[in-house]
Amino acid sequence: MNQFQHIVSNQGILGGKPCIKGTRISVQLILEWVAVGTTIQEILEKYPHLTYESIQEATKYNLN
């Protein structure tokens, strides 16, 4: 069972990079935003179609 319900990887979307399900927003992009101090709330304000849970899950995803 996949522990990440909101993260998908599909070769036809962003070249297979992990992204938030139903979007073209990559996990890497979320991690970059968080690394520079962007809060989950700020991301939600900019992208209201995302959920708190999907962003939180992206922050826990290991890209390695």
Dihedral of alpha carbons 23, 4, 51, 18, sign: negative
List pLDDT tens digits, range 37-50: 999 999 999 999 99
Distance CA 10, CA 15 (A): 7
| Continuous H helices in 1-64 | 27-35, 40-46, 52-60
pLDDT at 1 over 50: no
Task: Give the CATH class of 7-60.
Answer: mainly alpha
Distance CA 16, CA 49 (A): 21
20, 28, 29, 19: which is closest to 49 by C-alpha? 20
Q: Percentage of residues in the chain with pLDDT exceeding 70?
A: 95
